[in-house]
Chain A
Amino acid sequence: MSDLVSQDLNMIFKTPKGETVHALKDLNFTLKKGELLTVLGPSGCGKTTLLNITAGFIRPTSGIIKLNNKEIDGPGVERGMVFQQGALFEWLTVAENVDFGLRMKNEDSIKTSQKVNEWLEIVGLKGFGNTPTYQLSGGMQQRVALARCLINDPDLILMDEPLGALDALTREKMQSLVLKIWKETGKTIILITHSVEEALLLGERLYVMAPRPGRIHKEYNLPFASMGLKEDLREIKKNKDFGEKREEILEMIWNMEEEIMGKEI
């Protein structure tokens, strides 16, 4: 069993003003090995909190989250993370960024450089090994971040709006890349996104979360990710089923946003 299991996860923050925010309430879910979960929701619904708890950067107020039957109590190399803005180390070259994790483990440098080249080829950055990262475009930086995360061979990959800052064209290419990597490596992936289309396209499973308190509002099992492995992504978008689902979720989120606005007023 190499599942991610969450039991009664609660997260309560105190704001500097003294208000308490119930970021996550009684979250229960299980993610099986090799599944691709996308999480969608309006801002403030606890998506990023969930991810940070899973990564081990913050500890839940109550409840347990387990990976491979082991409770998560801190950041670990078995949970790779990809951020919205790369978070690359700009003082290192592309190759040095990618092999950062292996260097921290003091692995053999010849093996390491082989692996780095393999991964750079997979993410489509062959020949960019010696380029300083600050010279790369946004899309390329995200590719480096992906490779940097994957070279450590993590059990679970956490992606925090990894494609949020990219332009539409690059985004589409990167979506294909994520699907390709998912298929080739068979990793468990949690991907947080703001885009309904992206969530539908990439998610084998999709959680729509609702705010105040943060909770899973609705859960979908979707066929589009497996379709995307074979078909062109743009073809899938024309699918009638896809369109219906998109409208349904959009309306759901729209209602939630209205509810928040109403509460605030």
Chain B
Amino acid sequence: MLTQAVTFLIFFAVIGCILYGRKLIKTEKVDAVFGNPERALGGTHWVIVGSSFLLLIWLYYSWDIAKGFYPKSANELCQVAKVNDSLLGLKYQFPIEERELKSTSQIKKENKNLKNINIEIQSSENLNNEQKIILVSFINKTNQLIPLLTNEDLLENETKQKIYDITGKINLLTEKFQKPDYPFETEQELNDRLKAVSEEGGWGITKIDAGSGTIENTIEVPLIPATNKGLKFHAAAQELNLISDEFFKLRNHNPRFKNKIKEIKDQIKTYRKSLDESEEVASNYAKNIMKIARRIEFASIYPPNALDMMQNAIIKFENVQIKAQGGLRFIDILLFPAGTIVASGPSCSEQGSGRWLPKPSDTLNKFILMSKPSVGYKDIPLLWIDMVDVSRMIGFILPDWIADILPGDYPIHTNDGIVKQNFKGNVLNIVTGNFKLFKVPVPYGHIWDSFMRVFLGLVFGILIGVPLGLFMGLNRFAKGFFDPLIELYRPVPPLAWAPLIISVLGIDNTGKVFLLFMVSLSIMIISARAGASGTQLSKIHAAHSLGASKRQILRYVIFPNSLPEILTGIRVAVGMCWGTLVAAEFLAGTTGIGFVENVAKKYFQYEVIWITIFIMGMLGLLFDITLRKIIDKTIPWRGKG
């Protein structure tokens, strides 16, 4: 439903925007001069067209448009695929899609095999002449099998009758297939089928497993025929399966052939028994000749014209069913991009880009489901709030030794086994957070975890990096002393540190925050240093002669003057931290948006992968926009001084 609505909306939006663009070209004066940069201003409508095209390509290549508009055709095509599959075995017997009769090619193949084995035996150095003569006689006997099968005169009446029967069945099916009410479904059958259809569910329906909270796409294209047209193909496919089973059970074994092959088998068996261990080569050749004889026995080799009637019947049916498909074939080619349903055979799965590109509608559904705190991912919601008592935070912030340094002792139980609380014990309760106050909402979840890691890493980086950077920009000792340290660790890609840091500090938050702290620290130091050393001397002179002390110059001149560099540094650091974090979460961890993607990758949950990619993009964009806003607010003088 949503997909159809969105597709139509996009369609009309694109047309509307293009018309609007045409109108603008005619009315705008700046458009008269080619090369005027103002021509590029105010293209919001083209933004709409651009994003619409992107969405349209996604909708199309993820098979979502096909699913939205032609789910019935897909179901019917699935039935066509079944017919094709059933027909395949029969068709391969004849020069319909192949170049020659299956019998012909079998004979050619086995003759060639016999010839090769003959040459090998003749030139073999491990065989004596006696053995060679015997083996060649086997080959000749095997060769003589083929004419026994291909001789029309030897074809038994029983076999002829069976071929005639099968041909008749195919012709009957062709006749029935052309009737509109085929396969003559009863009321009961219809109800059963419809029930089965509704039980099977729609294409790509999303189900939640209430127990584990996982979401899965149950099926791709529904298998059970939902329309009469589809049912026709489905029934025909079933009948064809029976027919082809019957045909492949049929053997063209006349009594003379039977005797001959029995003779060959017996002779080879006896010969092989008579050989001792030293004559293994001869035994192997004999075994291979027997294999060829067996293949000839079970290959459906018939006299050249024995199957002509059947061939015609199959071609007739093929033409009828292709005609019955009608426009379905074009839908298959056009609407199921980069692959067709028919090509997938009776499994009716999505092909090509449909396999790895999730449908926007499915993705949205899954995203909505994952956003529900009760579902989340791996039992943790993406982003939700938890009511936490303030006492826990107080207990976390206050160190426990506050209680320890108080005079007196902690309460000891009395003889009656009663513990009487005293002041020191009460204080311990407070500093450990063992009391109740009121609850406040605290966010948690994968997104929050990732966000907090970046935030904390960045804050620590700024708190230490900015003062250190300013110090280094102003003091010879500081620059010289800290420079080697920073220049040694900074050029190393942050992720190169990750294995070390994660194994020392653990896979939880500490390691990741420290890694991000390292990333942001070097960037903040460098930018603060550049800001400090880039202060105009005349400003510092001015501040000096206005009576400012060193500390005041640092606070009121150098720091504000470095702000543009520092804020740009923060912006760079956020980007670097974000990229490093996601990769660090890939490496190890139990929460975070990168962790979600890594797990989704293991289970081929393409929707989840795309959702995490989307979330990461949006969060990165959010960070950048926020920082840009802050920069515009705090340093409006930038570039205007």
CB within 8 Å of A: which B520-544 residues: 536, 538-539, 541-544
B480 at the interface (CB under 8 A from A): no
Q: Report if A89-B547 is in contact (Cβ < 8 Å); known contacts: A57-B541, A81-B541.
A: no
Note all chain A residues with C-beta closer than 8 A to B641. 90, 134
Residue in contact with A91 in the complex, picked from B544, B548, B563, CB distance below 8 Å:
B563
Residue of A with least CB distance to B559? A91
How far, in angstroms, from A6 to B604 measured CA to CA in the complex? 85
How far, in angstroms, from A41 to B155 measured CA to CA in the complex? 128
Contact call A75/B545, Cβ cutoff below 8 A? yes
**Interface stretch among B196-204, B420-428, B632-640?**
B632-640
A80 at the interface (CB under 8 A from B): yes
How far, in angstroms, from A136 to B561 measured CA to CA in the complex? 18
A75, A79, A81, A91, most chain B CB atoms within 10 A: A91
Residue in contact with B545 in the complex, picked from A77, A85, A91, CB distance below 8 Å:
A77
Distance in Å: Cβ of A106 to nearest Cβ of chain B: 10
How far, in angstroms, from A80 to B549 measured CA to CA in the complex? 15
Note all chain A residues with C-beta closer than 8 A to B561. 89, 91
Contact call A132/B637, Cβ cutoff below 8 A? yes
How far, in angstroms, from A90 to B637 measured CA to CA in the complex? 6
Note all chain B residues with C-beta closer than 8 A to A134. 636-637, 640-641
How far, in angstroms, from A87 to B640 measured CA to CA in the complex? 13
B556 at the interface (CB under 8 A from A): yes
A242 at the interface (CB under 8 A from B): no
Q: Report if A87-B542 is in contact (Cβ < 8 Å); known contacts: A132-B637, A134-B637, A134-B641.
A: yes
Note all chain B residues with C-beta closer than 8 A to A101. 546-548
Contact call B546/A100, Cβ cutoff below 8 A? yes
Contact call B542/A91, Cβ cutoff below 8 A? no
Contact call A105/B547, Cβ cutoff below 8 A? yes
B467 at the interface (CB under 8 A from A): no
How far, in angstroms, from A149 to B538 measured CA to CA in the complex? 14
A25 at the interface (CB under 8 A from B): no
Note all chain A residues with C-beta closer than 8 A to B538. 83, 85, 87
Residue of B with least CB distance to A79? B545
CB within 8 Å of A: which B412-462 residues: none
Binary CB contact string for chain A from 120 to 158 against chain B (1 if under 8 A, 0 otherwise): 000000000000111100000000010011001000001
Contact call B541/A91, Cβ cutoff below 8 A? no
Q: Report if A57-B637 is in contact (Cβ < 8 Å); known contacts: A89-B557, A104-B552.
A: no
How far, in angstroms, from A196 to B406 measured CA to CA in the complex? 80
Residue in contact with B549 in the complex, picked from A57, A90, A104, A145, CB distance below 8 Å:
A104
B560 at the interface (CB under 8 A from A): yes
Chain B count of residues within 8 A CB distance of the other chain: 23
Residue in contact with B539 in the complex, picked from A80, A89, A135, CB distance below 8 Å:
A89
Distance in Å: Cβ of B639 to nearest Cβ of chain A: 9
A55 at the interface (CB under 8 A from B): yes
How far, in angstroms, from A87 to B542 measured CA to CA in the complex? 7
Chain A count of residues within 8 A CB distance of the other chain: 28
How far, in angstroms, from A235 to B561 measured CA to CA in the complex? 44
Note all chain A residues with C-beta closer than 8 A to B560. 89, 91
Binary CB contact string for chain B from 298 to 329 against chain A (1 if under 8 A, 0 otherwise): 00000000000000000000000000000000
Distance in Å: Cβ of B555 to nearest Cβ of chain A: 10
A186 at the interface (CB under 8 A from B): no
Q: Report if A104-B563 is in contact (Cβ < 8 Å); known contacts: A83-B538, A87-B536.
A: no
Contact call A90/B545, Cβ cutoff below 8 A? no
Contact call B545/A81, Cβ cutoff below 8 A? yes
A76 at the interface (CB under 8 A from B): yes
Residue of A with least CB distance to B538? A87
Residue of B with least CB distance to A158? B545
Note all chain A residues with C-beta closer than 8 A to B635. 91
How far, in angstroms, from A100 to B553 measured CA to CA in the complex? 11
Contact call A104/B546, Cβ cutoff below 8 A? yes
Residue of A with least CB distance to B564? A91
Contact call B544/A57, Cβ cutoff below 8 A? yes
How far, in angstroms, from A145 to B199 measured CA to CA in the complex? 84
Note all chain B residues with C-beta closer than 8 A to A77. 545-547
Q: Report if A83-B548 is in contact (Cβ < 8 Å); known contacts: A90-B640, A91-B560.
A: no
Residue of A with least CB distance to B640? A134
Note all chain A residues with C-beta closer than 8 A to B546. 77, 80, 100-101, 104, 148-149, 152
Contact call B541/A55, Cβ cutoff below 8 A? yes
Note all chain B residues with C-beta closer than 8 A to A90. 637, 640-641
Note all chain A residues with C-beta closer than 8 A to B556. 89, 100, 104
Contact call B544/A87, Cβ cutoff below 8 A? no
Note all chain B residues with C-beta closer than 8 A to A89. 539, 543, 556-557, 560-561
Contact call B548/A104, Cβ cutoff below 8 A? yes
How far, in angstroms, from A101 to B545 measured CA to CA in the complex? 9
Contact call A75/B637, Cβ cutoff below 8 A? no
CB within 8 Å of B: which A56-89 residues: 56-57, 75-77, 79-81, 83, 85, 87, 89
CB within 8 Å of A: which B541-589 residues: 541-549, 552, 556-557, 560-561, 563
Distance in Å: Cβ of B548 to nearest Cβ of chain A: 4
B545, B548, B560, B637, most chain A CB atoms within 10 A: B545
Distance in Å: Cβ of A158 to nearest Cβ of chain B: 8
Note all chain B residues with C-beta closer than 8 A to A148. 542, 546
Note all chain A residues with C-beta closer than 8 A to B536. 87
Note all chain A residues with C-beta closer than 8 A to B637. 90-91, 132-134
Interface residues, chain A, CB within 8 Å of chain B? Answer: 55-57, 75-77, 79-81, 83, 85, 87, 89-91, 100-101, 104-105, 132-135, 145, 148-149, 152, 158
Besides A89-B560, A158-B545, 6 other A-B contacts (C-beta < 8 A): A76-B545, A81-B542, A87-B538, A89-B539, A134-B640, A145-B542
Interface residues, chain B, CB within 8 Å of chain A? Answer: 536, 538-539, 541-549, 552, 556-557, 560-561, 563, 635-637, 640-641
- 21 sample A-B contacts, Cβ–Cβ < 8 Å, listed by A number: A55-B541, A55-B545, A56-B544, A75-B545, A76-B545, A77-B547, A81-B541, A81-B542, A83-B538, A83-B541, A87-B538, A91-B560, A100-B546, A101-B547, A104-B543, A104-B546, A104-B552, A132-B636, A133-B637, A148-B546, A149-B546
The 5 closest A-B CB pairs, nearest first, are A77-B547, A75-B544, A101-B546, A87-B538, A90-B637
